[in-house]
Amino acid sequence: MSTGGVRITKGTWLFLLGLGLVVIDQIIKVLVKTNMSIGENFNVIGEWFKIYFIENEGMAFGMKFGGQVGKLLLSLFRIVLFGALLFWIRSLLKKNVPTGVVVGLTLISAGALGNIIDCLFYGLLFSESTYTTVAQFLPEGGGYAPFFFGKVVDMFYFPIIDTTFPEWMPLVGGNPFRFFAPVFNFADSCVTCGAIYLIFFQWRFFSKEEKK
């Protein structure tokens, strides 16, 4: 591929795509973290698309995992997974594989890196976000957590259905029901979209690879 007489390789385009996604993810997170307190929210589209600021210990969609030890293990796993994905993408670029395959893997890699940055550096760079205070960038007293123990910033919330089960329903009658309840970020979206795309549109490639 060439632009203005300069040849740009597929690897370069994938790098720029991944870099752009990570930059978008980090811009959104920094804006939310430095302008909102924990639990603060506002409507974007009606009542079913909100910006809702929460933080988690490192799992996707607002979930937590196993305290400090679990968080460290999860961060290490993310880094290993990210390295493996980069190695896989690099090896696939040397073969004649469909472009969609490496694009899907790039989306997943960018999403993984976006959340890795939160875990590794946010604890060093920001003061703690609370329900009453907004975080400060590079605070005088230092950040809220050591290297590897930063929290992941989440903000996208889609309570498309927010209702209560009818009383006549067994077991769940009268209980609240909300869809979609998890709060997530742009990086989570990249991972999810990349995985869904590979499963539904590139499954033939992986089926051939498995046979080989």
Least confident span in 6-10, 141-145, 179-183 = 6-10
pTM reported for the whole predicted model: 0.86
- Decide if 154 is catalytic: yes
| Domain extent listing, the chain | 37-167+181-211
Can you tell me the mean pLDDT for 9-21? 95
pLDDT single digits (tens) 77-89: 889 999 999 999 9
**pLDDT tier for residue 96 given thresholds of 50, 70 and 90:** confident
Question: Out of 25, 118, 154, 162, which one is annotated catalytic?
Answer: 154
Angle of helix 99-117 versus helix 10-33 axis, rounded to 10: 30
- Decide if 188 is catalytic: yes
- Report pLDDT for 129: 97
Check pLDDT > 70 for residue 5: no
- Mean pLDDT score of the chain: 88
pLDDT single digits (tens) 19-31: 999 999 999 999 9
Least confident span in 42-51, 60-69, 167-176 = 60-69
Q: Which residues contact 48 (CB under 8 A, 6 or more apart)?
A: 158, 159, 160
pLDDT single digits (tens) 56-68: 876 555 555 556 7
Structure tokens at 174: 């009268």
Within 13 Å, how many C-alpha atoms sit on residue 148's CB side? 13
Task: Kindly list the distances between the CA atom of residue 101 and the CA atoms of 55, 90, 197, 201, in Å, as whole numbers in the listed order.
Answer: 32, 12, 9, 9
Q: Are 54 and 154 in contact (CB under 8 A)?
A: yes
Task: Kindly list the distances between the CA atom of residue 78 and the CA atoms of 2, 112, 152, 196, in Å, as whole numbers in the listed order.
Answer: 34, 7, 13, 19
Check pLDDT > 60 for residue 105: yes
Question: Out of 25, 118, 162, 188, which one is annotated catalytic?
Answer: 188
Task: Kindly list the distances between the CA atom of residue 117 and the CA atoms of 7, 57, 92, 140, 174, in Å, as whole numbers in the listed order.
Answer: 31, 13, 25, 21, 42
Q: What is the DSSP letter of 58?
A: S
Q: Reply yes or no: is the peptide bond before residue 179 cis, omega within 30 of 0.
A: no
Check pLDDT > 90 for residue 167: no
Other Cβ atoms less than 10 A from the Cβ of 211: the count is 6
Structure tokens at 83: 């390295």
pLDDT single digits (tens) 107-137: 999 999 999 999 999 999 999 999 999 999 9
